[in-house]
Structure 1
Amino acid sequence: MPMQYRPILSIDMVTSCSGSRENRTVRESFRASAPGKLMLLGEHAVLHGNRCIVCAVNQRLHIIVHPRHDAKINIESELGHYQADLQNPLVDTTFRFVLTAIDQHKELLSQGFDLKIESDFSATVGLGSSAAVTAAMTAAIFYMADQNLEAIKIYDHSLTTVRTVQGSGSGADLAASVFGGILLYRAFPNEIIPLKNIHPITVVYSGSKTPTTDVIQMVEKLRNRFPQQFSFIYSAMDVSAEQAAQAVKETDWPTFGQLLNLNQGLMDAIGVSTKKLSDIAYVLRHDSGILGAKISGSGLGDCVIGLGKHENPIGYPLLPLEMSKQGVTID
Structure 2
Amino acid sequence: MHSVASAPNKIILFGEHAVVYKKPAIAVAINKRAKVSIKNTKKDSTIIKCNDIGLHANINPKTYNIEFLEGKKGILNYILEVLKSHHDNSPIKIDISLEVPLGIGLGSSAAITVALIAALHNYHEKVIDKSSLSKKAHEIELKVQGAASPLDTAVSTYGGMIYLKDSNIEYIKPNIEGSFIVAYTPKPADTKKMVSLVKKKLEKYPNIVGNIIDTIGNVTKTAYELIKEGKFEKIGELMNINHGLLDSIGVSSSELSQMVYSARNAGALGSKITGAGGSGSIIAYCINNEDKVLNTLKSQWDAFKTKFSKDGVIIH
TM-score normalised over the length of structure 2: 0.86
What is the DSSP-based 3-state SS (H/G/I as helix, E as strand, rest coil) of the residue aligned with 2:187?
A: coil
Q: Judge which range, 53-62 or 211-220, deviates more.
A: 211-220
Distance in 2, Cα, partners of 1:307 & 1:143: 36
- Match for residue 237 of structure 2? 258
Distance in 2, Cα, partners of 1:244 & 1:96: 36
Q: Which has the higher helix share?
A: 2
Q: How big is the alpha-carbon RMSD for the aligned residues of Structure 1 and Structure 2?
A: 2.3
State the Cα deviation string for residues 33-85 of structure 1 (Å, max 9, x = none): 11111111111112222211111122211111003579852222222312212
- Counterpart among 142, 148, 155 of residue 163 in structure 1: 142
- Counterpart among 126, 129, 138 of residue 147 in structure 1: 126
Which residue identity is paired with 1:62?
K
What is the DSSP-based 3-state SS (H/G/I as helix, E as strand, rest coil) of the residue aligned with 1:37?
A: strand
How far off its partner does 1:129 sit? Answer: 1.4
For the 8 Å contact 2:9–2:31, the answer to whether it is kept is yes
1:1-16 aligned within 5 A: none
1:109-128 aligned within 5 A: 109=88, 111-128=90-107
What is the DSSP-based 3-state SS (H/G/I as helix, E as strand, rest coil) of the residue aligned with 1:218?
A: helix
Which residue identity is paired with 2:60?
A
- Match for residue 283 of structure 2? 305
- Match for residue 50 of structure 1? 23
Distance in 1, Cα, partners of 2:209 & 2:116: 37
State the Cα deviation string for residues 77-100 of structure 1 (Å, max 9, x = none): 222312212x43466854000111
1:263-278 aligned within 5 A: 263-278=242-257
Distance in 1, Cα, partners of 2:84 & 2:205: 41
Distance in 1, Cα, partners of 2:66 & 2:19: 31
What is the DSSP-based 3-state SS (H/G/I as helix, E as strand, rest coil) of the residue aligned with 1:60?
A: strand
1:100 pairs with 2:81: yes
- Counterpart among 316, 323, 326 of residue 300 in structure 2: 316
- Match for residue 224 of structure 1? 203
Flag the 1:284–1:81 CA change in 2: closer, same or farther, 3 A. Answer: same
Distance in 2, Cα, partners of 1:231 & 1:173: 25
State the Cα deviation string for residues 182-241 of structure 1 (Å, max 9, x = none): 22124x523232232223222222443332222222222222222333332222222222
TM-score normalised over the length of structure 1: 0.82
- Match for residue 56 of structure 2? 80
Q: How many residues matched?
A: 299
1:215 pairs with 2:191: no
How far off its partner does 1:110 sit? Answer: 7.2
Identity of aligned residues (%): 27
- Match for residue 325 of structure 1? 310
Provide structure 2 residue ranges, at least 5 long, that are not aligned to the other structure. 68-72
How far off its partner does 1:156 sit? Answer: 0.3
Provide structure 1 residue ranges, at least 5 long, that are not aligned to the other structure. 1-27
Distance in 2, Cα, partners of 1:55 & 1:302: 18
Flag the 1:52–1:79 CA change in 2: closer, same or farther, 3 A. Answer: same
- Match for residue 70 of structure 2? none
For the 8 Å contact 2:189–2:279, the answer to whether it is kept is yes
For the 8 Å contact 1:139–1:154, the answer to whether it is kept is yes
